[in-house]
Amino acid sequence: MSRGIHLALHPYGVGGPGQHGLWKDPRVAKNASIDIGYYIRQAQAAEHALFDALFIVDSQFINATYPAHYLNRLEPLTLLSAVATHTRHIGLVGTASSTYNSPFNLARRFASLDLISGGRAGWNVVTSFDTGTSRNFGLDEHLDYATRYGRALEFVQVARGLWDSYEDDAFPADVERGVFLDPRRLHALDHVGEHFRVAGPLNVSRSPQGQPVIFQAGVSAEGRDLAARVAEGVYAPGGTLEQAREYYADVKRRAAAHGRDPEHLKVFLHGGPVVAATDARARRREREIFEEDNDFDRNLALLGRSFGAYDFGVHDLDAPFPDVAHLAEKGGRTGAAQIIRRAREQELTLRQVVESVAAFRESPFVGSPTTVADTIEEWFAAGTLDGINLAFRTDDDLELFVDGVVPLLRERGLFRTAYEADTLRGHLGLPVPANRHTRVRERAGG
């Protein structure tokens, strides 16, 4: 298999944005989002199907209007450390904010997960667009967009420097000579930058994959550029085939412009497949799911997230969309700007904006197993994705995909028939990064 599709699993728990009614499904345990057994079972099912990774999202701010899964869920690195002890191969990707963490502490936590899992850790770098998060960390105001992205770039650079504190041969542990550590292989960082001052070294050694894999979800120009500069996996926004192809080509082109091999940046589309015996039944079920989750009040509250958790409920629903452009800069700027532009161009009321944002849109990955496999193959061949970040509402839905679609992808040579590596980098075909200090020493002939 010269180039295969990568598959990751993104558990829904009791339901995030767009799955407001999921917690009501009798097949979904009401404590799923805080039940480590649920995540272990999800990870083991995905590993049995030879998936590349389990992906855990996160945020650090809520109010009572937030989706059910957001209200009560486990912290990602704690969760993934537990899952690591019940799995052997599947990658473990956790979300953590570069805005509301310190580099040393977070680098240590991800390095620990990487060692616990034997080299399967990945970090999804986010800058946090929930503006209310600032008040949970002693700040009156959320950082502006440019500052958040500048801080994120420096944060990743510092973390990678800390992960290279020890060279791979730093611990001879020679009892006869009484030498546990070779101090020549331990290196302080002594970083002084615009956002951070970090001395180092980190007190955690490198894992079999060298360093955790960096993921990022870049939508704006700044986000795409950050992904192109530091990410090894990118969570893409999706959309139509043409939009996905444009995004894919753009981030690969940006990576090349930064001197990187574009093949060392893997683009994952979000996918929520609906698989049934026939295309008609699958499309009918897709519409039923939409109706189950289509709650206007929830959609109104969800709209506020892109504008810093703004309460649109204070406005007349049938008046023109309010002037909230000033809130977008510190929230989800790209998505918010698109909403504002459409509202102005089409002269929409607030009610119409909510309805248009939450309107039913057919997913490309819906149908019989053959139809879904055909679509995945088509999108893969069209240069829209390297992988899919899959989300399933229930265990039954995951099983339908694994038993129906995955075998067809294998028959077509698009997906693995066995794990060929034990690390997340190995699954993704990414190189193990050489320790920077070892590289310098070897170049000097030392």
List binding-site positions for FMN. Answer: 58, 95, 149, 220
**Residue 193 amino acid letter:** G
What the block records as the tokens of 37 is: 């057994």
Q: Which residues are annotated as a binding site?
A: 58, 95, 149, 220
Query: What torsion do the CA atoms of 61, 65, 71, 77 make, to the nearest 10 degrees?
Result: -40
Q: In terms of DSSP bridges, do strands 233-236 and 387-390 run parallel, antiparallel, or are they unpaired?
A: unpaired
Question: Three-state secondary structure along the chain?
Answer: CCCCCEEEECCCCCCCCCCCCHHHCCCCCCCHHHCHHHHHHHHHHHHHCCCCEEEECCCCCCCCCCCHHHHCCCCHHHHHHHHHCCCCCCEEEEEEECCCCCHHHHHHHHHHHHHHCCCCEEEEEECCCCHHHHHHHCCCCCCCHHHHHHHHHHHHHHHHHHHCCECCCCCCCECCCCECCCHHHECCCCEECCCCEECCCCCCCCCCCCCCEEEECCCCHHHHHHHHHHCCEEEECCCCHHHHHHHHHHHHHHHHHCCCCHHHCEEEEEECCEECCCHHHHHHHHHHHHHHHCCHHHHHHHHHHHHCCCCHHHCCCCCECCCCHHHHCCCCHHHHHHHHHHHHHHCCEHHHHHHHHCCCCCCCCEECHHHHHHHHHHHHHCCCCCEEEECCCCHHHHHHHHHHCHHHHHHCCCCCCCCCCCCHHHHHCCCCCCCHHHHHHHHCCC
Peptide linkage before 322 cis (omega within 30 of 0) = no
